[in-house]
Amino acid sequence: MTREIIVVTSAYGNDTVAQLGGQSALLEIIKASGADGVEIRQELLTSNDEIDEIALKIKQLGLISAYSVPRALFDESGKIALKLVQNSLQDAARLGARFLKLSLGELPSQYDLNELHSVLSQSSVLLVIENDQTPEGGHIAPLVTFFDEVKAINLPIKMTFDMANWHWHNEDAFIAAQTFAPFVAYIHVKESQKKENKRVAIALDDSDGNWKKVLSILPKNVPYGIEFPLVAHDLITVTKHYVNQLKDI
């Protein structure tokens, strides 16, 4: 089985996406790089980005897709954001996406995930929860509690494992990989480092290579998403470089 590589549009930077005229303009670059798919970010959609038009272009180029919405499964009141999930699944389905990615939010002391069954069963899109950079959704413990409950009630939810987001809260990515490997359906490949007392994402070639060890613990048969900075005069060439690197691992 050939490993699928997805390019996250935000990897090119918000300014570049805007200058090119929206995420739709990136699709041919991504296709030319040899990547298999694209992650469309809701927060980067512009007036030039109609979901149906993007979906058509993705299909014409033969790409797979994921849809990322920068919202949490649990809202600020501690309730499951059912309407958000339903609407986002519908948008993801229009896009033809394989995954809908949300973050966890703050896990309340009491909750009932069973209410998600009917919403998720009506969609062909798989909901994947990502460990993000927030205090609520970036720690191992609450995500363990959540996914244990998901497993207990056989809920069709999997995980987007972001390899570097753990660093924002001093969590051990190796322990996280060992812990969550059975739940992972999609991996955001990324590294980070501290610059001027601020943690930032960095390109793989600028890292110490520890990402390879983390990746070795995780499933091999799931898509790898490029979410680290892709910055160069020639976007096709830099994207192709990392696509090939990840396909060869």
Region 132-144: mean pLDDT is 97
Helix, strand, or coil (residue 215) = helix
Give the pLDDT band of residue 1 (cuts 50, 70, 90).
low
**Residue 186 predicted with pLDDT over 80:** yes
- What is residue 133's predicted lDDT score, i.e. its pLDDT? 97
Alpha-helical runs (H) found in the chain: 14-20, 27-32, 51-61, 82-95, 117-121, 140-152, 173-180, 210-217, 235-247
Question: Could you tell me the pTM of the whole model?
Answer: 0.96
**Domain spans in the chain, listed from the N-terminal domain onward:** 5-248
- What is residue 48's predicted lDDT score, i.e. its pLDDT? 75
Beta pairing partners, 143: none
* Whole-angstrom distance, CA of residue 6 vs CA of residue 225: 5
CB half-sphere exposure, 24, CA atoms < 13 A: 17
- Span 108-123, pLDDT tens digits: 999 999 999 999 999 9
Answer left, alpha or beta for residue 173, where phi above 0 means left and psi between -120 and 50 means alpha.
alpha
* Whole-angstrom distance, CA of residue 83 vs CA of residue 51: 19
CATH superfamily, domain at 5-248: Divalent-metal-dependent TIM barrel enzymes (3.20.20.150)
Answer left, alpha or beta for residue 96, where phi above 0 means left and psi between -120 and 50 means alpha.
left
Crossing angle, helix 82-95 and helix 51-61, to 10 degrees?
Answer: 40
Q: Which amino acid, one-letter code, is at 5? A: I
Region 44-68: mean pLDDT is 94
- Span 218-230, pLDDT tens digits: 999 999 999 999 9
- Span 140-174, pLDDT tens digits: 999 999 999 999 999 999 999 999 999 999 999 99
* Whole-angstrom distance, CA of residue 12 vs CA of residue 238: 10
Average per-residue pLDDT for the chain: 96
Percent of the chain with pLDDT over 90: 94
Region 10-21: mean pLDDT is 96
